[in-house]
């Protein structure tokens, strides 16, 4: 999400892509693929199911990028449409019911531990590390900032803006699928409502972390900080027994305050 | 030696970190079990998924 917002875009579909990718991984593991015309059944092991799920995420991200770059659909609208499409497809694929019992190999990805630390933490740490290197040390990272900072100047200086934008949406879709893998394997179940509303937490983490919604300014480190703030806030409020409705109000206020402070700092 | 402007710049750059530390401090005082090992990993798990999106 940070990369997408750095280019001046937004991706509202990550929660739905998470759900669809997770459901496809679970469905392939549990039911495989039946080609009735050929009287053929294909079973999948965990690695194959994961690869297909990740490819689905990447493809939907690519489609988002295509809508934004080729057909000039505003990112908000393109990804809002994808939010609905992917959620509908998830419900169609799962028949509105959870797919459970996914096998020990798959489940160990989300619920296992390495050196006493949950696997999903290692996965997230790896992604953060790669994203930091990508943004700070590579030409692609500089292109991302350039596109978000001033798209016209980036175009005039010969940058393939459309390719950069498509790439960040593909990355966002793929990472949403990784989120789907983590959630599905941790719960040992793919539910059609997985990831609902999660896109808002994700956007909130990026914004609280100081990334400008108009693009060109921000960092992955800031997003990690933003995610920590959201996580601590969620956890603290739950432990204190604050009414869930009030939790939403408080979270909204924190996001608002963070954005106002960021705006004031930027003006100065 | 930092002058007043430097302090303001430093404060502006680290407001998210300060907010996080304040929140941890407040919840540690108000919520029993917030500073537990289990809750630490619960938060880490939660943000792991958030960071993948």
The DSSP-derived string for chain A is -HHHHHTT---TTHHHHHHHHHHHHHHHHHH-EEEGGGTEEE---HHHHHHHHHHHHHHHHHHHHHHHHTS---HHHHHHHHHHHHHHHHHHHHTTS-EE---HHHHHHHH-EETTEEHHHHHHHHHHHHHHHHHHHSHHHHHHHHHHH-HHHHHHTT--HHHHHHHHHHHHHHHHHHHHHHHHHHHTEE-TTTTTTHHHHHHHHHHHTT--TTSS---HHHHHHHHHHHHHHHHHHHHTT--HHHHHHHHHHHHHHHHHHHHHHHH-
pLDDT, tens digit (0-9, with 9 covering 90-100), for A48-65: 999 999 999 999 999 999
Backbone phi, then psi, for B17, in 5-degree steps?
-65, -40
With a cut of 80, say whether residue B8 has pLDDT above it: no
Chain A residue closest in CA terms to B48: A124
Contact residues, chain A, for B21 at CB < 8 Å? none
Contact residues, chain A, for B44 at CB < 8 Å? 118, 121, 231
With a cut of 70, say whether residue B25 has pLDDT above it: yes
pLDDT, tens digit (0-9, with 9 covering 90-100), for A168-204: 999 999 999 999 999 999 999 999 988 888 888 888 8
Query: With a CB-CB cutoff of 8 Å, which residues 14-53 of chain B face chain A?
Result: 15-17, 19-20, 23-24, 26-27, 30-34, 39, 41-53
| Total residues found in chain A within this entry | 268
Q: Which of A127, A225, A239 sits opposite B33 (nearest CB)?
A: A239
Closest-CA distance of chain B to residue A222, Å = 8
Contact residues, chain A, for B31 at CB < 8 Å? 236, 239-240
Contact residues, chain A, for B45 at CB < 8 Å? 118, 120-121, 186
Closest-CA distance of chain A to residue B6, Å = 13
Chain B residue closest in CA terms to A235: B43
Report ipTM for this prediction.
0.84
- Quote the pLDDT of residue B1: 59
Q: How far is CA A214 from CA A42, A74, A151, A205, A236, in A?
A: 46, 13, 11, 16, 31
With a cut of 80, say whether residue B12 has pLDDT above it: no
Determine whether the interchain pair B49/A120 forms a contact, defined as Cβ–Cβ distance below 8 Å.
yes
Taking every pair of C-alpha atoms in chain A, what is the biggest distance, in angstroms? 68
- Mean pLDDT, rounded, of chain A: 90
Q: Which of A186, A198, A261 sits opposite B53 (nearest CB)?
A: A198
Which of A86, A211, A232, A234 to mutate: most B Cβ within 10 Å? A232
Closest-CA distance of chain B to residue A14, Å = 6
pLDDT, tens digit (0-9, with 9 covering 90-100), for A201-232: 888 888 888 888 888 888 898 889 889 998 99
Determine whether the interchain pair A231/B53 forms a contact, defined as Cβ–Cβ distance below 8 Å.
no
């Amino acid at each position: 999400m940070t990369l997408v917002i750095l280019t001046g875009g937004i991706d509202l579909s990550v929660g739905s892509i998470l759900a669809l990718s997770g459901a496809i991984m679970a469905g392939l593991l549990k039911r495989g693929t039946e080609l009735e015309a050929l009287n053929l059944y294909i079973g999948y092991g965990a690695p194959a199911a994961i690869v297909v799920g990740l490819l689905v995420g990447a493809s939907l991200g690519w489609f988002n990028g295509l809508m934004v770059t080729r057909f000039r659909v505003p990112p908000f609208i393109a990804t809002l449409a994808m939010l609905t499409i992917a959620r509908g497809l998830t419900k169609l694929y799962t028949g509105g019911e959870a797919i459970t019992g996914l096998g020990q190999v798959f489940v160990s990805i989300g619920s296992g531990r390495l050196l006493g630390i949950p696997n999903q933490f290692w996965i997230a740490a790896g992604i953060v590390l790669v994203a930091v290197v990508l943004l700070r040390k590579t030409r692609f990272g500089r292109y991302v900032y350039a596109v978000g900072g001033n798209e016209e100047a980036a175009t005039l200086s010969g940058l393939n803006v459309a390719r950069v934008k498509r790439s960040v949406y593909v990355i966002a879709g793929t990472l949403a699928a990784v989120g789907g893998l983590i959630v599905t394997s941790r719960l040992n179940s793919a539910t059609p409502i997985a990831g609902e509303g999660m896109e808002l937490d994700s956007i909130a983490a990026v914004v609280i972390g100081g990334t400008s919604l108009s693009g060109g300014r921000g960092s992955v480190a800031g997003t990690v900080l933003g995610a920590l703030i959201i996580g601590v806030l969620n956890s603290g409020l739950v432990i204190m027994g604050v009414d869930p409705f009030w939790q939403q109000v408080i979270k909204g206020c924190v996001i608002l305050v963070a954005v106002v402070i960021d705006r004031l700092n930027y003006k100065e | 030696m930092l002058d007043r402007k430097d302090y303001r710049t430093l404060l502006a750059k680290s407001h998210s970190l300060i907010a996080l530390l304040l929140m941890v401090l407040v919840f540690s005082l108000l919520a029993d079990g917030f500073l537990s090992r289990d809750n630490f990993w619960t938060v880490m798990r939660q943000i792991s998924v958030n960071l993948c999106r």
